[in-house]
Amino acid sequence: MKVEETYSYKTSSSKLVQVAEIASRYKGRPEMLMKVIIQVQKIVPAFSASVASVIAREMGIPQTDVYSFVTFYAMLSVKPRGKYIIRMCKSAPCHVKGAKEIVRALEDLLHIKMGETTEDNRFTLEYCPCLGICEVSPAIMINEKTYGNLTPDSVRSIVKMYIREEVED
The per-residue b/e assignment along 117-145, b for 16 or more CB within 10 angstroms, e otherwise, is: bbeeeebbbbebebbbbbeebbbbbbeee
CB of 60 to ligand FES, least distance (A): 20
117 binds ligand FES (CB under 6 A): no
CB of 91 to ligand FES, least distance (A): 3
**Angular region, 147: left φ>0, alpha ψ -120 to 50, beta rest:** beta
Ranges within 70-109 binding ligand FES (CB under 6 A): 89, 91, 93-94
CA proximity to 140, closest of 61, 110, 121: 110
CB of 148 to ligand FES, least distance (A): 7
Kindly indicate which of the ranges 52-60, 117-125, 128-136, 161-169 contains the residues binding ligand FES, using the contact rule CB under 6 A. 128-136
CB of 43 to ligand FES, least distance (A): 25
133 binds ligand FES (CB under 6 A): yes
How far is the C-alpha of 10 from the C-alpha of 15, rounded, in Å? 10
Residues that bind ligand FES (CB under 6 A): 89, 91, 93-94, 130-131, 133-134, 137, 139
